[in-house]
Structure 1
Amino acid sequence: MTVATASRPAGRQSNQRTFSGYGSSGSDIDVRLVARSIAQAALEVLAGTRAVSQLSRSLDPDCYVALQHRAALTRKHAARVRGNLQPHRSPMVRSVRTCSISEDICEASIVVSEELRCRAVAMRLERLDGVWRVTALEIG
């Protein structure tokens, strides 16, 4: 995804904030970027355009099994409803909001638009050894 920005006059500063977690430091990965990519990937798994195994490092075992089960049910339902598979357009993340619970725990809500509807994704991320991992995932 590319973003085009207009040039800003030299005297004007950006009012955009970055959020790297609770005790923000420049070397931390922005938790919003992590939440964004995991939400996009999870919806692509449900759409059948991505293998669930690609999320094995980002999801804890319970979330991984639940997503794998839901993807299987979605594929089964889609095969029954649609005779011919239509090309799928990738879901587009519209917004990401995060709330820091502690230094190593953060919750995120993501709005994703698909072809026919918008969906909400909620997740709880915990940082272990400097890596963010999803411990709770809800996809609406």
Structure 2
Amino acid sequence: MTMTVATTSRPANRRSPQRATPAAGQSGLDIDVRLVARSIAQAVLEVLAGTRPVHQLSRSLDSECYVSLQHRAALTRKHAARSRGSAQPHRSPMVRSVRVCSISESICEASIVVAEEQRCRAVAMRLERLEGIWQVTALEIG
């Protein structure tokens, strides 16, 4: 159900709120990239939590990002083993928002906000379309 409110006049300096629309020349690629970024961010945090094996992201991450995530997950497991009494470090991550900026037709950058039980985290990634598949070539997890 939508509600429309009509006004007789609007001050010149006040703009009406509008949803962002794709810029001229862009297709539905932004929507696809948002979905890809969302699922990769969710999967990355599940890897850090130890609830998903890192090899499931082998097609989605380039080799440098893959090795880096593998290393960080190992460090996270080692830290969790030292403090055994605590709960899992990253339980139940939920993606709250995804913002995508198109650099070119085959390169996008995304920022994702992920909520966990105790805090929110930021994930930033650069995605490049290689042979028709979006692949993360840079990944930062806050």
State TM-score, norm by structure 1: 0.80
Instruction: Work out whether residues 92 and 113 of structure 1, in 8 Å CA contact, stay in contact via their aligned partners in 2.
Output: yes
Distance 1:59 1:22 in 2: 29
Q: Unpaired runs of 5+ in structure 1?
A: 1-6, 10-14
Q: Percent identity?
A: 79
Cα distance, 1:16 vs structure 2: 5.4
Question: Structure 1 segments of 4 or more deviating over 3 A?
Answer: 15-19, 21-29, 83-89
Q: SS at 1:134's partner residue?
A: strand
Cα distance, 1:28 vs structure 2: 8.1
Which of 108, 111, 136 is the matching residue for 1:109?
Answer: 111
Which of 94, 97, 100 is the matching residue for 1:98?
Answer: 100
Distance 1:83 1:22, change over 3 A: farther
Distance 1:131 1:23 in 2: 20
Trace 1:1-140 onto structure 2 (pairs within 5 A): 7-8=1-2, 23-26=25-28, 30-83=32-85, 89-140=91-142
Larger Rg: 2
Q: RMSD of the alignment, in Å?
A: 2.5
| 2:15 alignment partner in structure 1 | none
Cα distance, 1:24 vs structure 2: 3.5
Q: SS at 1:30's partner residue?
A: helix
Cα distance, 1:83 vs structure 2: 3.4
Q: SS at 2:108's partner residue?
A: strand
